Structure formats: C-alpha cells, structure tokens
Amino acid sequence: MSELQKSFAKAKLAKLPPEAPPFSMHPPRDEDDSESASSTGTVVPSPSRQLFARSRGSTCGVIFRLLAILTHPRSNSVETLNWTDFFTQELFLIQETDSARITHHVYLTPPTNSGPLFVMHHGAGSSGLSFATCAEEIRKILPKAGILSIDARDHGQTSTYTETGEGKVELDLSLETLNRDLVFIVRETQSKMGWESLPDIVLVGHSLGGAVITDVAKKGELGPKVLAYAVLDVVEGSAMDALQSMEKYLSTRPTRFPSLASGIEWHTRSRTIRNRTSARVSVPSLLYEEAAPTDPSKPWVWRTNLAETKPFWENWFIGLSKKFLEARGGKLLLLAGTDRLDKELMIGQMQGKYQLQVFPEAGHFVQEDQPVKTAQVLVDFYKRNDRSALVLPPKVADMQASAAMKQGAEAGAVPPFGRGQGSSHKP
C-alpha cells in the first residue's frame, strides 16, 4: 500500500463511528462456479452482479465491504473442508469373510423423530464425501432426515486385507460384492446405533453407485423399508458406450499432484467438479500422500486406481435399465442431459414408470455441481413416497352406509339396518 493510499484510509477511518457495523464472517457458498469462473478458472464477474458499481450507501460502507473481502476471501479458496462440517459422525464397520477382513468406513448423520435415512453410494473412483454438500442441503430442507454416505471397498478410507492382515486381497469390485457390502453396512449401522428397526430408506446412487443401489432394490434384501431409490446420471446404454473411451480419458488425467490444493484446482479447472465448495471437501478423500514418492515434487496420488477396475466395468451396467424399471419402490432418474436416455428408459418414461429430472447446467457429478437443487428433488421425491403421510380414503361400503344413515335420519325414516323398538309392522 502506497503512502497516499495509507493517508487516504486513515482520513476516512478517523471519521468512522467507534463500532463497525456487523457483517457476515462466512461468505455464501456458490452452488455452481460456472457463473463466476471460466473453464480455465479465471474469475469473470457476471454483469448482473455489478461488482465494480458505486454503492448507494456511504463511503464508510464501501470501506467496510472492501475490508471484509480482503480479510474473508470468497469461496474461490482451495483450502480443504473437513467432513465434520457436513456429517455428525463416522463409523468403522468390521466385516470378516473366509478370505478377507474389510473395514468399511461411512459418514453418518442419524435421523431424528422418525425421519427417513438417505443411503448414498458414490461412483467409481469417488468417495462418500461426494455427497457432503448435498447431505448438508437435505438437512436444511428436512432437518429430521438422516444421511448414511459410504466409502465403497477400495475407495476412501475403506480398506480390505487378508485375514492375517499381512497384505491386501485381490481387487473385487463386482456388482454382487458391492451389493453385499451395502446391505451389510446398512444392517451393521442399525446394530451399532441400536435402532430397533430400520428407518424408512431412500437409496441414492451416483454412476456406479446407481447400479449398486438398483441391484439392492431389485433383490429386495433390505425389505419393505426401502421406500424408493434414485439413480444419478447413469443409464445402461450411455454407460456402455462411455466405457469404450474410458481408457483414453484415464490416460489424459494427471497421475500425481504436488499438493491437495493442486488436486482441488485441477478438478475445478477441468470442470470435472463445477462447485468449488464441494471440491474442497470431496477431492482430499480421493488422494493420498506417498511415503516414498517416485517423484518427490508430486507426492499426492490417486487413492483408487481406476484402470485396475476395468475387468468389472461391463458387470456394473449390463441389465441396469431393466432392473431399474422392474424393482419395487418409487423410481427417480436424475440426469445431466436427456441425451443419456437409452431406448428402454425412453419407453418407460413415456409410460410413466419413473420420475425424470434433468439438470442441463450440471456435469456428471450432479450432486456436487448442484447440491441445493439435487437435495430439493430428493426431499420432494421422498415426500411423494412417504407412506406415513398417506391418508387412505374410506371404503366404498362404509361411505354408502354412512350416506344412507344420514339420509334416513333427515327424513325421519326407519334406519336401513332394522326397525326401532315400538315400530308397527303389518304382515
């Protein structure tokens, strides 16, 4: 700051009242950075925001707003956010099989006052924190709702080892295995939390997670407590087509990062995640720092090697559309574009078999790019399928009997179900 600027500031500050007017210490979170950032991350203010317009208020107000901006930067920060800002607790659930010991890691906010439980399953290469900002918004709209967001095996903090604990087991991300994992997690969470019975459940799955929750819903292994299921941005036809170019896409991704901040920055600049706030909480769970990196200048690498999951790709999505349409419960398909619909789903949509919602402004990670809108759609979807809110109409026979009795009483006639005492009767 130059001497001229300092003297100007001192002159203005000397005229200010002894106490400054209050201002928010927490800048609002942008749901979609597409309005404020280009594809290369350059800040481009919207004309409607009039960022440099002269304030109608006093000069003091302008100075305080400038001070607030300087001391409290907006959400263009790449500083990481903690999971505790979005969930109340985490659980580590131990599952032992004949050949492995799996420690499932989940993020949880328990439901209250008989609220529903939204069970979230992320996509391949992601983590349970992919739903963090969406979970926060759901709770704002429906405070009694619970959120259970899992780290799938070999993702996030979920780990799989041999029974002896001496080494990792062979990678198994088949749909059948992921199905069993999800059912185990829900049941084990019920046991850990001491719930006498499961709350009403809405299954929510993004990409690969959509295939998993659809398979669970189709097989009915969680029983009638599953009210409905929502699939986010995946359908069988487009998923199978996309697999053909998946290896090429993976070859273009960076394999290493110098820091977590650079990992967050890559996700937002590449538009992989279009909401910086969500990237700040979800991206750190996708990377880990190598103890002895081959490139010391870039020690942060991907936690999940997506290339190694190739043997399971087709297994995830074959038959998805058919299962989605046939499983019991309410059905929601939330897409980033209608071009993703395949023939089977287009026919099902015309027949009214499921609810379709499209967010054309979102990318593949719809729940991260548009957490507020996604949360509102999910809460409305739950309410439409909430059995406790249903008021069944009276039976037709009861309505007819009630109407007949009312009509007879008004006319002074003999009740339809027999004559009263003392009534005359001629043979």
Active-site annotation, residues? 207, 233, 364
| Secondary element (H or E) of residue 141 | helix 132-141
What is the token pair recorded at 262?
């650079």
Give pairs for 189-193: CB < 8 Å, separation 24+: 189/91, 189/93, 189/106, 189/108, 189/148, 192/91, 192/93, 193/108, 193/110
What is the token pair recorded at 9?
């500031």
CA 324/CA 392 separation, integer angstroms: 28
What is the token pair recorded at 63?
């100075």
CA 106/CA 83 separation, integer angstroms: 11
CA 110/CA 88 separation, integer angstroms: 8
Residue 107 near residue 342, CB atoms below 8 Å: no
CA 130/CA 111 separation, integer angstroms: 20
The dihedral through the CA atoms of 339, 342, 347, 348 has a sign that is: negative
CA 274/CA 362 separation, integer angstroms: 8
What backbone phi and psi angles, to 5 degrees, belong to 208?
A: -55, -40
Residue by residue, DSSP assigns 299-354 as -EEESS-GGGGGGGHHHHHTTHHHHHHHSSSEEEEEES-GGG--HHHHHHHHTT-S
CA 58/CA 48 separation, integer angstroms: 22
User: Can you state the percent helix, strand and coil of the chain, rounding each to 5?
Assistant: 45, 15, 40
Residues forming beta bridges with residue 330, ordered by sequence position? 228
Edge-to-edge order in the sheet of strand 287-289: 256-257, 300-302, 287-289
